[in-house]
Amino acid sequence: MTKDKRELARRQDKAPIATAWDYAPAPEARDIVKIQERYGLFIGGKFVEPASGERYTTIDPAREEPLAEVAQAGKADVDRAVRAARDAFANGWSTLRPSERAKYLFRIARLLQERSREFAVLESINGGKPIRESRDVDVPLAAAHFFYYAGWADKLEYAFPNRKPRPVGVAGQIIPWNFPLLMLAWKIAPALAAGNTVVLKPAETTPLSALLFCDVLRQAELPPGVVNIVTGDGLTGAELVSHPDVNKIAFTGSTEVGKAIQKTLAGTGKRLTLELGGKAANIIFDDAPLDQAVEGIVNGIYFNQGHVCCAGSRLLVEESIYETVIAKLKRRMATLRVGDPLDKNTDVGAINSKQQLDKISALVQSGVDEGAEIYQPPCKLPERGYWFVPTVFTNVAQSYRIAQEEIFGPVLSVLTFRTPDEAIEKANNTPYGLSAGVWTEKGSRILAMAQRLRAGVVWANTYNRFDPAAPFGGYKESGFGREGGRHGLEPYVVLDDA
């Protein structure tokens, strides 16, 4: 045997191992974004001082540096925002010609495209996600959502044939920090298309893209009060939920807070949609195209540092291909570049907050303590900032916390199965039901699996793929209601008989 052949036999694979992949730094310029020193609340079409008088500092999680002072809205502020939204609803927006509403939404979509670089850089600075993702995923998808729902605005009677759709009223919308601008778009676009007005609360760690979005609203000349943005933490969110003049609440975030909101709203007649956590199974059968599947596994769990409610955080591999898949996966993980979110070569950016980093670290420790086998590729992390090395756990029992709880970080737990029935049973063995992935060459198997998986979204031979036309949402503790597509309009319309 020649030396090379011995080497190949040793590696048990013909693909070359990436050894020294050195990339020159390729940082995106930060100065395209002007961050103000302090921000007020966006109410009635302009920035106002918070009556609460309170502010807090929002930071760059990759550098642990302060970025701006942001208002912490109190009860009186939330009330002012809801009144502005009610005025706008009653005095024009809800009765505006639908094609006129569409015009504003189209304008917003185009402005987001025009200013996409600015938004992408800001999103990466404030949230820690790689610029490659904010530039190629978050911002284009946010614009696409506005385009998509702009198209529905004057066709609602076709969306709901033989019914007379009318708007619900004032919508209170609360969003998380993992996709700040995209979640804003998911919430605001369908609400406005259907003639509602909005009070939106961004997550406390990532308010800046929502505050920049207020400038887009100004450019689009959206009538004052149609969209109001109140920043603050969970207390602000709770004020919005319990405000008596809000007709509908839309929430994306933790299952814990979702449950609390549902309790508060019980019996009030207010409408509610909840998009909560997940612990999705990504299922790989032995006939799957393995190299593609490995890309799908990596994209499924390491995309956006794993801060993804539909992340493929439980890998279910058919036993016969287990060794091969794990070997390929580990080799692929070694090529992931962790670091500066603004570097165009970065694959995995900063963890969003100290709090989230602590949560991830604690759950990973529990995996080690319970007896799972941990693998982390060699990886040099920046000295400052919040970072976590992409991690995979093998030897995982279904009862371990890392197989049951949402980690919301770059941590994958691997389980195996022998038959499709066993795969289904394990996949569904969770309180959640948001998403799943199936990798196989057989179309019939894809359909059979999709039918039996209790998950709102099932991806086949792909993962984490989004389209504004496709409804998204959960079963069980992942919440209820759908966002995206025609289904995404339903929570925002009252249907009378025609």
Q: Which of 107, 183, 190 is nearest to 153 (CA)?
A: 190
Q: What Å distances lie between residue 258 and 198, 263, 351, 472, CA to CA?
A: 19, 9, 23, 17
Q: Contact between 186 and ligand NAI (CB under 6 A)?
A: no
Radius of gyration of the chain (CA): 23
In angstroms, rounded to a whole number, what is the distance separating the alpha carbons of residues 437 and 179? 21
Nearer to ligand NAI (CB atom), residue 60 or residue 239: 239
| Cβ-based nearer residue to ligand NAI, 239 or 347 | 239
Catalytic residue among 239, 309, 318, 490: 309
Establish if 229 lies at the interface with ligand NAI (CB under 6 A).
no
Q: How far is the CB of 199 from ligand NAI (least distance, A)?
A: 12
Site for ligand NAI contains 174 (CB under 6 A):
yes
Question: With respect to ligand NAI, which residue has the nearer C-beta, 178 or 394?
Answer: 178
Residue number with CB closer to ligand NAI (133 or 343): 133
Residue 181 C-beta: closest distance to ligand NAI, Å: 14
SS3 of 446, please? Answer: helix
Residue 203 interacts with ligand NAI (CB under 6 A)?
Answer: yes
Shortest Å, Cβ 334 to ligand NAI = 27
340: contact with ligand NAI by CB under 6 A: no
At its nearest, how many Å lie between ligand NAI and the CB of residue 241? Answer: 5
Near ligand NAI by CB under 6 A: residue from 207, 237, 433, 485: 237
The secondary structure of 129-180, three-state, reads CCHHHHHHHHHHHHHHHHHHHHHHCCCHHHHCCCEEEEECCEEEEECCCCCH
Find the shortest distance in angstroms from Cβ 420 to ligand NAI. 28
Question: What are the start-end ranges of the E strands in 197-286?
Answer: 197-201, 227-229, 248-252, 271-275, 281-284
Contact between 252 and ligand NAI by CB under 6 A: the answer reads: yes
**With CB under 6 A, what is the number of residues at the site for ligand NAI?**
25
- Residue 238 interacts with ligand NAI (CB under 6 A)? yes
Of the candidates 28, 123, 275, 477, the residue annotated as catalytic is 275
The verdict on 260 binding ligand NAI (CB under 6 A) reads yes
Instruction: Report if residue 406 touches ligand NAI, rule: CB under 6 A.
Output: yes
- The type of residue at 333 is M
Q: Classify residue 14 by burial, with Cβ atoms within 10 Å: 0-12, 13-18, 19+.
A: exposed
Q: Yes or no: say if 70 and 231 are a contact pair by the CB < 8 Å rule.
A: yes
Query: Catalytic residue at 275?
Result: yes
Q: How far is the CB of 409 from ligand NAI (least distance, A)?
A: 8
Pairing of strands 46-48, 411-417: unpaired
Report the nearest approach of ligand NAI to the CB of residue 280 (Å): 11
- 93 or 408: whose CB is closer to ligand NAI? 408
Q: Which long-range contacts does 47-52 make (Cβ < 8 Å, 24+ apart)?
A: 47/214, 48/80, 50/74, 50/77, 51/76, 51/77, 51/80, 52/76, 52/77
When binding is defined by CB under 6 A, the residue of 125, 257, 293, 298 that contacts ligand NAI is: 257
Determine the interface stretch with ligand NAI among 39-47, 104-112, 168-176, 328-336 (rule: CB under 6 A).
168-176
Tell whether residue 276 is a contact of ligand NAI (CB under 6 A). yes
Stretch touching ligand NAI by CB under 6 A, among 71-79, 132-140, 197-205, 420-428: 197-205
- Nearer to ligand NAI by Cβ, of 148 and 408: the residue is 408
Which is nearer to ligand NAI, 329 or 351 (by Cβ)?
351
Q: Tell me the C-alpha distance between 438 and 462, whole Å.
A: 8
Could you tell me where the beta strands, DSSP code E, fall in 313-434? 314-318, 373-375, 391-394, 411-417
CB of 178 to ligand NAI, least distance (A): 5
- Count other Cβ atoms within 10 Å, centred on residue 421: 10
Q: Note whether 130 binds ligand NAI by CB under 6 A.
A: no
| Separation between Cα atoms, residue 195 and residue 94, nearest integer Å | 5
Nearer to ligand NAI, 241 or 457 (CB): 241
The crossing angle, in degrees rounded to 10, of helices 116-127 and 208-219 is 160
**Least spacing, CB of residue 183 vs ligand NAI, in Å:** 8
Tell me how far CA of residue 356 lies from CA of 1, 61, 131, 219, in angstroms: 51, 11, 20, 35
Residue 295, both tokens? 């890309």
Among 58, 173, 178, 231, binds ligand NAI (CB under 6 A): 178
Residue 126 near ligand NAI by CB under 6 A: no
Q: How many CB atoms are located within 10 Å of the residue 47 CB?
A: 17
Amino acid letter for position 392: V
233 binds ligand NAI (CB under 6 A): yes
The distance of closest approach from Cβ of residue 175 to ligand NAI in the complex, given in angstroms and rounded to an integer, is 6
CB 160 within 8 Å of CB 493: yes
Closer residue to ligand NAI (CB): 97 or 354: 354
List of long-range contacts for 319-323, beta carbons under 8 Å, 24+ apart: 319/416, 319/417, 319/418, 320/286, 321/284, 321/286, 321/288, 321/290, 322/416
Instruction: Check residue 361 for interaction with ligand NAI (CB under 6 A).
Output: no
Binding site for ligand NAI (CB under 6 A): 174-176, 178, 201, 203-204, 233-234, 237-238, 241, 252-254, 257, 260-261, 276-277, 309, 356, 359, 406, 408
Residues tagged active-site: 275, 309
